[in-house]
Structure 1
């Protein structure tokens, strides 16, 4: 099968969406399918010469936090280039520039199309712009719903990664053939037995973390919608000198968070690594004793699954989309309000048996998120979409 993946974000940019797409591409190729990624240009030269990555030139978006993305104008002008790929099916992961290229192909050639919803705009909008959210929320949401309708109406099948996303789409009253398919990851990359104690100790030493510290770990993009400030506030209230907080990743909010750590007088206990090479990220998960997250804007939470694959217990803020990932008191704990975070964190540090019980159950709780399951589910829906298209 010749498959076209349409996305506004792809490697070397790292995010939950790019990770999801990369896992799918690798899984499809391992089964012998020919997969092309149609995406935007990047500032670096990495991957530019890959014949299976088609990069369309775009303009930088003049907004802090969006510099890694590109806006591709005149999308219809790129149709001939993509037509030459002779695709059997399109899998679209964006409602914007690159997605419009797929829409033009759909309208011109009626190619089978699968569409995946990745972003919860209802919850994300106020992080993008508090001004727009306050004064223009209603017209913006009307526009976004029309945008979603444009893709869902054309797609033979629409994928939602969780029930939460599916419920939102249904609340928009957009008719479509919806299927829930959890995003898969290469679980083996994060398993602790792939790494030696020496590797873990050497990495800790290189960061400057003393031995035998209880390490609270956050891995992800440092942007406002991730609510990392909540984690810093909670960490500042715990009563244990033995605990440190390791924050792995980069983003537009990093400097603000570093300043907040100074304001809270915990800068000596907080370690900000900046961006880490994706190939090394599995080792960084081995440094943690507990994985923290307070975001409520995830569509699925891939870093949560990665942490569980590394046998890390979770201490995260409750969100509906996490109900299938976090089994409370089995592989992790939810805090419902921010005041609960330091209380629960103190408990995990004080009572190692609590942490160890969650740790034992972590890895075996996420088999359904394997790359193999994800790939097989996607292929099954591609075949169904092709049949529907022919009918």
Structure 2
């Protein structure tokens, strides 16, 4: 049991954390849970809230008054509209003096309204690459107009925030280009619990029940099974190179059947479903290399979990994960959305598999400074400066 120890700022800050839920398995949810539990351990009033049709830890859930279909951009999802009056009443009852919003959708609007009505600060965490989503995930004739409207909306939404937290250098520069003043921006890199995700959980026999040969090299992907994750790059790369390795895809999502069909007849690609807790920790530690081909990761939580578990990584040169990769030392980068370059880097890493153990050790060492403890302390310090 983790011992509770009050943080010096716990008597000053009372935080409500606003988040839209598009999927119950995501890096954003994991991030919310970890920060909530850390805040609770440190003695803070820290209340994650959302609108959703059912209960979901650790959120206080407001039942939606309506739902908007968003599956044309993120298949199988809806945006749930909350009752703003009930949210404001809840914040007032709990004497909240700080609002954190990590969403520009319905709960983001609720955050803006609540902040203005209660006259308390509101900060934004830039989690979603809205520009990428609206440009690349809808092929309708009106998609360019939707993108233009969405980006204008996001800019106005972020203008209402007292601070904007960004996860990577790229997105920091993007905010500057969008006209936000540097003094309003704060870096908020991903944090990982390196005690939970650790090479000590390695157990190669774990894979036998999934039909995976543990004597072979194992390449791993963990995440939501949707096209925005660019999982097709992995399948096409393996099909082209035909290496004698096993590939395990952990997760589920609306496009799982699409990818299962793409991998049909490829006996070395395995879909393991959703893994959590000890099973997920063991899966990471019992693989050899981690693949994250997505071009839209603002956070890349799974990449940090893999690195903490002692895996070198192959990630795209666009988005958050690339900030943690030193080419050839703890992983490799490939040109985003370029299958040929992905195949080239995949072939390179396969040719030098004897280096993977040393790269894995370097990967773990390189992310240790990004501890959840350091992330949390820096975050609450920035919040407290607004009071």
Q: Give the aligned partner of residue 180 of structure 1.
A: 187
Give the CA RMSD over aligned residues. Answer: 2.2
**Residues 6 and 348 of structure 1, relative CA distance in 2, 3 Å threshold:** same
Q: How many angstroms apart in 2 are the aligned matches of 1:74 and 1:326?
A: 43
Mapping of residues 13-92 of structure 1, within 5 Å: 13-43=24-54, 45=55, 47=57, 53-58=59-64, 59-64=66-71, 65=74, 67=76, 69-92=78-101
**Could you list the runs of 5+ residues in structure 1 that have no partner in the other structure?**
387-391
Deviation of the 1:278 alpha carbon: 4.6
Q: 1:259 aligns with which of 261, 278, 303?
A: 261
Q: How many angstroms apart in 1 are the aligned matches of 2:202 and 2:306?
A: 17
Q: How many angstroms apart in 2 are the aligned matches of 1:121 and 1:86?
A: 32
Q: Give the aligned partner of residue 274 of structure 2.
A: 275
Q: Give the aligned partner of residue 299 of structure 2.
A: 300
8 Å contact kept, 1:127–1:224: no
Q: 1:191 aligns with which of 186, 198, 222?
A: 198
Secondary structure of residue in 2 paired with 1:364? helix
Q: Deviations over 1:141-194 (max 9, x none)?
A: 34323432343222221101111112222222244701111021212211011x
**Residues 155 and 126 of structure 1, relative CA distance in 2, 3 Å threshold:** closer
Secondary structure of residue in 2 paired with 1:385? coil
8 Å contact kept, 1:9–1:39: yes
Secondary structure of residue in 1 paired with 2:16? strand
Deviation of the 1:61 alpha carbon: 4.2
The reply on whether 1:141 has 2:147 as its aligned counterpart is yes
8 Å contact kept, 1:311–1:363: yes
Secondary structure of residue in 1 paired with 2:253? coil
Q: Deviations over 1:286-337 (max 9, x none)?
A: 2311111211111131111111101101122222533421111110011234
Q: Give the aligned partner of residue 340 of structure 1.
A: 341
Q: 2:251 aligns with which of 242, 249, 273?
A: 249
Q: How many angstroms apart in 2 are the aligned matches of 1:73 and 1:356?
A: 49
Q: Deviations over 1:262-290 (max 9, x none)?
A: 2xx41x11110122235532111123111
Deviation of the 1:67 alpha carbon: 4.1
Report how many aligned residue pairs link the two structures.
369
Q: Deviations over 1:71-123 (max 9, x none)?
A: 11553453223321110211111112122222122111211222111111111
Q: Give the aligned partner of residue 311 of structure 1.
A: 310
**Could you list the runs of 5+ residues in structure 2 that have no partner in the other structure?**
1-12
Q: Give the aligned partner of residue 127 of structure 2.
A: 118
Q: How many angstroms apart in 2 are the aligned matches of 1:85 and 1:125?
A: 37
RCO higher in structure (CA 8 A, sep ≥6): 1
Q: Give the aligned partner of residue 223 of structure 1.
A: 226
Q: Give the aligned partner of residue 389 of structure 1.
A: none
Q: How many angstroms apart in 2 are the aligned matches of 1:145 and 1:298?
A: 18
Deviation of the 1:16 alpha carbon: 1.5
The reply on whether 1:7 has 2:19 as its aligned counterpart is yes
Q: How many angstroms apart in 1 are the aligned matches of 2:383 and 2:162?
A: 9
Q: Give the aligned partner of residue 8 of structure 2.
A: none
Deviation of the 1:367 alpha carbon: 1.8
**Residues 223 and 320 of structure 1, relative CA distance in 2, 3 Å threshold:** closer
The TM-score, its normalising length taken from structure 1, stands at: 0.87
**Residues 171 and 196 of structure 1, relative CA distance in 2, 3 Å threshold:** closer
**Residues 322 and 81 of structure 1, relative CA distance in 2, 3 Å threshold:** closer
Deviation of the 1:127 alpha carbon: 4.1
The reply on whether 1:238 has 2:249 as its aligned counterpart is no
8 Å contact kept, 2:76–2:254: no
The TM-score, its normalising length taken from structure 2, stands at: 0.88
